[in-house]
Amino acid sequence: MRKIDIFDTTLRDGEQSAGINLNTAEKVEIAKQLERLGVTIIEAGFPASSPGDLEAVSLIAKTVKNSIVTGLARAVKSDIDAVWEAIRHAEQPHVHTFIATSPIHMEYKLKKNPDEVIEQAVTAVKYAKEKFSLVEFSAEDGFRSDKEFLVRICQEVIKAGATTINIPDTVGYASPQEYGALFRYLRENVIGAEKIKFSAHCHDDLGMAVANSMAAIENGADQVECTINGLGERAGNAALEEIGVALHIRKDFYGFETGLNLKEIKRTSQMVSRLTNVVIQPNKAVVGKNAFAHESGIHQDGVLKNPETYEIISPALIGEDDIPLVLGKHSGRAAFRDRAETMGFQLSDEKLNKAFAEFKKLADRKKEVTEEDLTTILTEQQVSIEDVPLFELKSVQVQYGTENIPTATASVITPEGELKTLASTGSGSVEAIFNTLEQLVGGKVNILDYRVQSVGKGRDALGEAVINLKYNGYTSTGRDSAQDVLEASAKAYLNAVNRQLIQQQVREKQAITI
């Protein structure tokens, strides 16, 4: 059975989505989960874009062993050098370099003629090949490029040493029939095509990214580039989980395999959603919360008699196993550590102790501690930044009544170690909390977005708060969870402020270095 390589670009193209800003610890955690999922290649970032991105890509390259790690580079030497600096520690150093090839991009963006574009592409690939054994070349906006020109540039970069050629539908303009035909045309007309892999990279502007990717596979693509939950610029990229499950469920038709561990799909999807703060739509294929829900009486009757009447995908296939009670309040530290490791978490002793303390507090108040609860607790500790002085919430109390003005009192430990307590009012409980915290953090805060949702089911479920705010001129997103949504909201507020303080320290270090 022919293997299709899965190239995941959640940490590069996915992170370019508006409002997503992952820190290094969060990127590493997602990369480790992608490795457990079994993706072939992880595009960890764009090292030349910032020192922080270079650092994150480098750490991922040192951490991940079972997936190939790559970084993006424009077709210029400095970008390729940045990727080499970040990736050289990897098991199989891989670089992904690109240049635009469509007439509109060449004329208006690059201001180069076709011959100049080919020359720059060849120079970049030759230079990359001196450092990397695996060199992927992307013809940006490839679908809207002239077919004969694509043949020319593909042939030249193959001679220069490219091992993979990606033909992206960068603006999501293609139809499946057209996109598949383009791959077939290149396979049949590019001299040396048998020496390299062809890769598909589709955006979802017209809602056809997955269909276009499948059409490319049918017509000779050996690799498909995608993201978890379909994240990406504008309308997003092709969704990895949909492609992986489709190839598995319809292997009778496609006859391909991916090497993915499909049981890790649900956990990967939830982790990416939680860390990026991007909610998964309920009717999202494969991973939406309604993906296995049946409202119609006819459907329910059929599923009770035989699940296959209406379910072509079993929940167990993607790791949607029903584990209502994972641990209880009498569970010890050893059992907690064992469960954390089974779930794929590797925490330091200090972080494990903090997570265990949070678990015990929750277990005292909650009848059932579910896998979703544990994932939330462990993830928050896994991606937390240690040894950085930040704001810490000690307590929050709200006085509210329909006839009274809501008043919030909060106590916070400042980065300097000082305990401060203040009170403030607002038109509602949440506003009162935010007004109080704004005084405590000592800066101008504008709330851009705020939402609360439950983690799991039941009246005693954890509440997760996500807040997007502007603090001293910089935008930041914070999140936290607690059984009380007001406590979760206060913690999320401080988390957003703390993330901005961390970024400020990074900016100051970079300024000193420069």
**Binding site residue list for Mn(2+):** 13, 201, 203, 237
Instruction: Judge contact between 127 and 76, C-beta under 8 A.
Output: no
> Residue 73 pairs with which residues in a beta bridge?
97
SS3 305: helix
Q: What is the chain's length?
A: 514
31: tokens are 């990369």
Per DSSP, which regions of 233-375 are E strands? 256-257
Please tell me the distance from the alpha carbon of residue 65 to that of residue 277, in angstroms, as a whole number.
27
CA trace torsion 4, 9, 11, 14 (10° rounding):
-130
Please tell me the distance from the alpha carbon of residue 340 to that of residue 263, in angstroms, as a whole number.
17
Q: List the binding residues.
A: 13, 201, 203, 237
Cα first-last separation, the chain? 53
CA angle 512, 513, 514 (to 5 degrees): 90
Please tell me the distance from the alpha carbon of residue 278 to that of residue 476, in angstroms, as a whole number.
14
Q: With helix as H, strand as E and coil as C, how does 97-134 read?
A: EEEECCHHHHHHHHCCCHHHHHHHHHHHHHHHHHHCCE
For 98-137, b where at least 16 C-beta lie within 10 A, e where not — what string?
bbbbbeebbeeebebebeebbebbbebbebbbeebebbbb
Amino acid at 172: G
The CB-based long-range contact list for 255-258 (8 Å cut-off, 24+ gap) reads 255/1, 255/2, 256/1, 256/2, 256/3, 256/4, 256/217, 257/1, 257/2, 257/3, 257/4, 258/3, 258/4, 258/5, 258/6, 258/38
Q: What is the DSSP string of 142-207?
A: GGGS-HHHHHHHHHHHHHHT-SEEEEEETTS---HHHHHHHHHHHHHHSTTGGGSEEEEEEB-TTS
> Residue 96 pairs with which residues in a beta bridge?
72, 136
Please tell me the distance from the alpha carbon of residue 303 to that of residue 486, in angstroms, as a whole number.
40
Nearest partner of 382 among 43, 32, 65, judged by Cα: 32
